[in-house]
Structure 1
C-alpha cells in the first residue's frame, strides 16, 4: 500500500523560481513532495547548493539539493502539476517555453499577481487544464536561495483533482493550501491588496513602517475605492483575500493610527521584514509589474467610461522609480497631496 500511495503522489513543477515559487515549492519539498524547480542563471546555480526557508513565526528549514530537482523549463516535462509563479509580464514567454516539454494531462495552477493570467494561459496551453490560484501573503527574497515568509496566510486554489492532490501534499509540510470555489472574484480581492505594491516602492519602507504612516494608508484607501467603484460599474463581483471584507478595508485604513494598529494586530500577523514583490523587483532590476496591478484598475475604468486618477498617479511614480532604479522615499503627506490633486482633477 505504501508504494501505491507513493506512486499516486504527483510530481510538482515550479515555473518561476522567485520568492513565491521558491517558498511554496520549498515548503512542499520540505514535507516530502517531489518538486522540480525551473530556474535560470544565478537562481539556478544557487538552489543547486540548497534552499533556506523561514517564516514570521520562527519556523526555519534548510533543504539539501537532494530533496528536490532543478533545471530549465524542460526539466518540468515529467511533472503532473505545474505551479506557474512567473511575473505577469513573463507569462506568455514562459508558457510558450513550457509548452515544448509539458506532458499530456499535466495541470497548470497559476499563483501569479493580476487578473488576466489564467485566461492567457488557457489560450496558450489549450490542451491542458489551467486552474486559478492566489497567494495572499508576503514572501521576501533574502538571497538567491533563501526566502522568508513575512506574513500569515493561506494559498488558495480553484477546484480540480490536481488541487485536491496539492492540498493533501501540503498537510505534511506546514504550508496552508485550501480550495476556493470563486477564484474569479477572489483574484479581484487579491488585486485590491496588491494595489499597495507600488506604494511600497514609493515609500521605500518595510510594510509595517509604511502602514504607520496615515498618509500612505489614505492614498491606498483612495486607490482601493477607485477599484471597488469600477468593479461595481462593470458588474464584477469581488471576494476578500484577507480576513477583512473588501469594502471594509478602506474604512479600516482611514482610522487614526492608534486605532488602526489595534485593528490590524487582530487581523494580520506580519514581521518587520515584509516588503512588496514590487520592491523586490526594483532592487533586483526587473521590469515593473505595475501595469498588471494599478494599471489594471485604470484599464478597467477606461473600458467602462470612468477614470482612476489615484491609481494612474501610482503607476507614474512607480515607473519613474524603476527608471531611476531607486525609491523616491516620498513622505506620506507629500504623496497624499498629489493624490488629492489628481482626484480633484478627474
Structure 2
C-alpha cells in the first residue's frame, strides 16, 4: 500500500497507472491532480462550477501585476504553500516587492493569482472520495494562528454547504483519494474558497470529533468500497503546542508573551480551554513532548530563533516550477 501524504502525490499521479500494477494507491488522474494542485487551475475550476471565491484576476506578466491598483489584495504563485507562495499587498511599495519575489521563484512561468483581500475567519475542510463519490468530510475553524499561518488551535464545525460544494468538485474531477480545501467565512452561511490541497491535511481533529478520515482513506486505497461516514461532532477543539509557541515567538518576539503562552498551554486556559493536543499527547506518547520542550526552552532564550527554526524545517521537499517541469517532461521507462 502506498499513501502519498504530501506533494509527492504530484509525481506519483503522473505514473499512477504503472504503479497500480504493483501497489495499492488512491490517486486521481494526473490532469485532475494538476487542477487541484495549481492555485490558478483551482480558481478556474471554481469558476467553471460557479462556486464562490474572492474577486479574482489571473495575470501572467510582471507588468500586469504592477498595473493592479485595488488594494489590499493577495498575490499567489500557482505553485507553493500558503506560507511560501502567498503575498499580502497593502499598496504599491509592497506590490513591487511581491513582484520581485514572484520573479525570483519563477512564478510567471504560470498564471499568478491576484485576489481581493477579505478579512474573515479561515476554515478548512478535508474529504475522502472513492472514484468521484464523497465518502467523508470534516471541517474546522482556525481559532489561533501558528507559524507560517498554520493552525495552532482549531475547532470542528458543521458545514453542509461545503459538503455540497466538495461533492460537486469530486464529481467534476472524478477524484479518488483525499482532498482538502481552505475557505473564508465572511458570513454565517457564506464561504469563499481560497486554496486546495490534493491530500489529507492534519486529520487528528476529525478523528477526535469521531470522523476517522485516515481509516477511510486506507480502505479506499485497499480497494474496499466503504460506506459514507457519519459526520463528526462540532465544537471539538484541538491544538498543536509547537505551532502555538513558534507563532507566538514570531508575532511578539517577547519572552513574557512566550511565558504566558506556556502557562495557558500547561493550565489549559484561554484558547486552550477544553482543547486536546494533536501532535504531542503527553499521556499516550510522552517522548513526543521532548521536541516541544526543547523548542520552548530555545525560544525563551532567543525568541528570534523562531524564524530560523521555521525556515530550516519547512520547504526543501516542496514543489516549485522547475520540479514540476521535470515531472511533466519525464517520459521514462514504465515502473
- Same fold per superposition (TM over 0.5): no
* TM-score of the pair, normalised by structure 2: 0.31
Structure whose residues are more often helix by fraction: 1
Which structure features the higher share of strand residues?
Answer: 2
